[in-house]
Amino acid sequence: MTLTSRRGSTTRPNPSTMGRFGLVLWVRRGGGGSGWIGFECKQEFMVAVWKEVCNLSSSLEMEFWRSLSSNNGLKHRPLSLLRILRGLICFVFFLSTAFMFLLYLGPLAAGLMRLFSIRYCRRTTSFIFGLWLALWPFLFEKINKTKFIFSGETVPEDQRVLLIANHRTEVDWMYFWNLAMRKGCLGYIKYILKSSLMKLPVLGWGFHLLEFISVERKWEVDEPILRQKLSTFINPADPLWLAVFPEGTDFTEEKCKRSQKFAAENGLPVLNNVLLPKTRGFCACLEVLRGSLDAVYDVSFAYKHQCPNFLDVLFGVDPSEVHMHVRRIPVNEIPETESEAAAWLIHTFQIKDQLLSDFNYHGHFPNQGTEGEVSIMKYLANFSVVIALTGIFTFLTFFSSIWFKIHVSLVCAYIASTFFDIRPSTFLEGANDSCDTGYPRQFPDQMVVESFLN
């Protein structure tokens, strides 16, 4: 026996004392009795217990480090004070630079350039605000060290494309910038966003200048505005990446159950990794832009190990890896009728659902490595330009002529008015481009409707 009892005592001894052969543990008698009884743990027993504890600790430690050093990467980076401070500094810097760009370059892009050519206005706006947008991929890839893995097919640099993707989390749309950064098309990406995002302070005005399309998620309200906005993008001379998330909202388990129930009740495919897509918005985009698109690209987003939210991305906590699988579909392979195009979209999401199931099993998409990394020098050069421009604008605002202060005050008032849906008018759109694009001029009634909708 490794535990042996010792003679009781009526006085309270030390809780543990060293006996002749090992440690003695004293325990008070139970059952209403009095006195104490001691148990002696012999040395060989103590050694055996210690070995078991060490073995268990070693195995747990090995398992912990194996999980961190596996090919799957870090599951979750700790939210340290340094990450919080770094994220807040980056966010304040991004907002400050965006504000300065809007103060001085927004009126140029929204007003003056449109007097001459909508085409060159768009190119100028895309270039100027593309400099600012590039700060986000810089944050994701170089500061937060998030790894981007592209697979499938490549997207050519000089094509007009419609991008459709699953909406796994609230930040999916931002990761399109990392793909566009590699193609030199960062400023040409346009999104269909819910209208509440267009009313964000500062950023909402920027979204409008970049011609993002806002929707209310009510088709009877959205359809005429969506078609009118899309009709301004039909010029094949204008670069275009139009990003659409047909699910209409980000994926959650609760939403997935509702989607599966609806699909089962209506004889539609039951999907596990994506929501059943809403087809009318996609069909409208395809109908209006079909003649000017080069292809439709089906993009599938997946993450290791957990899906991030905006704060995770800002502080660099998650994700450790972003996987983007690209599949090219020529436009002429998509049916022209609305019902057939809707069926095609649902089938495409069935393929996407299976692809994501395979990803969950294997941990990667097929045919990885289709896109390389962006050079750190390219990011730093862009960052330097943004810093220099922001410095110039700051000097003009606080240390220059009174006229710059008046300009800043007027633009600030105008930016603040975006909360009430007062935004730069696009009534000049198309007025100077019809001669060299082959598209007809807008008639006055069209221009009034466009101005009113904006």
pLDDT at 448: 28
- The SS3 of residue 368 is strand
Q: Which residues contact 266 (CB under 8 A, 6 or more apart)?
A: none
> How far apart are alpha carbons 135 and 382 in whole angstroms?
8
pLDDT exceeds cutoff 90 at 175? yes
What domains, with CATH codes, occur in the chain? 3-69 (no CATH), 82-395 (3.40.1130)
Confidence of residue 47 (pLDDT cuts 50, 70, 90): low
**What is the tens place of the pLDDT at every residue in 445-454?**
333 223 222 3
Give the model's pLDDT for residue 42: 53
Q: How far apart are CA 238 and CA 219, in angstroms?
A: 27
**What's the whole-number average pLDDT of the chain?**
79
Output Rg (C-alpha) for the chain, integer angstroms.
31
What average pLDDT does the segment 358-371 reach?
89
> Tokens standing for 10?
């009526």
pLDDT digits (tens, 9 = 90+) for 224-236: 989 999 999 999 9
Picking from 131, 209, 114, 117, the residue whose alpha carbon sits closest to that of residue 177 is 131
